[in-house]
Structure 1
């Protein structure tokens, strides 16, 4: 099955690479990073070519990402109703806390819906393009490089394991943060309840 897929992608060439990247950029669940990895295996590029090919994929990704970006602006009410509320709260919370750079982080770890969050927040178009590029370009470089290592099945497996590791670490970080906030709030309430009011002495 894998060999059949490789043969098809080899036949359609750059069109397949651009199409694979564009599908994920539309915020459709699709493994664009693994697509890039496969083409790294097929093309076996040098380091200079990896950097240039990554520019190609990243420019496509940024350009196509403006489709869901503008959809979220034009049809804000519909998008808010359709997007999973939990995902929206999660993304918005991290953007509020760590700033717009979470758009780049979201791109790197595959949070496609982050584009809708940027659109709903009316993020500046230039900033959105820059952060999307910053998030996808290093991922593209990494995937092209992993593809050149030769063992495609092992590389796909390792990449998927790395994604799970990133999500696990994020989950732990969120849990620790929530636990810390809960502890601080509980401690603050206890101190207020146990502290006697200080009356002025004569």
Structure 2
């Protein structure tokens, strides 16, 4: 089965890679990173090629990502109604807590719907493009390189496991961050003059 897929991708050439990257960039659940991995295996690029190919694929990713970005701005109410509420709430929570850099992190771990959050927030086009590129470029480099190592089936399995590991690590970091914020607020409240109980001034007795 895998050999059949490889033969098909060899016949498609670069078009196959563009299609694979573009589908995920449209915020459709699709493993674009695995496509990059497979092409790393098929092309067996040098390190210079990997860097250049990653720029090229990342620019395609950014360009196509503007389609859901614009749609989320122009048709926000419709998109909010159609999108899965739980996933959108999860992504929005992360962006609210950690800022716009979560757009880049979301791209790295395959959260395609993070584009809609950027649109809902009315993020500037240049900022959205930069964060999307920053998120996908290192992932592209990693996947092209892993593809050159061969043994694609094992690599795909490891990549899927790595995605779960990244999510778990981020979840732990988020929990620690919330815990320390709560502890810091409690400490501030105790030490704050506002938080301390006021002492009653004793009236001086007149002779």
What TM-score results when the alignment is normalised by the length of structure 1? 0.90
Distance 1:35 1:78, change over 3 A: same
1:21-40 superposed matches below 5 A: 21-40=21-40
Residue correspondence of structure 1 range 10-159 to structure 2 within 5 A: 10-159=10-159
d(CA) in 2 for partners of 1:136, 1:180? 31
In structure 1, stretches of 5+ residues that fail to align are none
**Cα offset for 1:87?**
2.2
Of stretches 166-175 and 155-164 in structure 1, the one that deviates more from structure 2 is 166-175
Paired residue secondary structure (1:163): helix
- Using the TM superposition, give the Cα deviation of residue 108 of structure 1 relative to its aligned residue in structure 2, in angstroms: 0.4
Structure 1 residues 148 and 73, CA gap change in structure 2 (3 angstroms): same
Q: Determine helix, strand or coil for the equivalent of 1:142.
A: helix
**Offset, 1:177:** 4.0
- 2:4 is matched with 4
Q: Indicate the larger mover: 175-184 or 65-74.
A: 175-184
Structure 2 unpaired stretches of 5+:
none
Structure with the greater alpha carbon radius of gyration: 2
Residues in 1 aligned to 2:172 and 2:197: alpha-carbon distance in whole angstroms: 38
User: Which TM-score applies when normalising by structure 2?
Assistant: 0.88
Please give the root-mean-square deviation of Cα atoms over the aligned residues, in Å.
2.2
Which residue number corresponds to residue 200 of structure 1? 201
SS of 2:170's partner is helix
Following superposition, the deviation at residue 175 of structure 1 comes to 3.3
1:199–1:75 CA distance, 2 compared to 1 (3 A): same
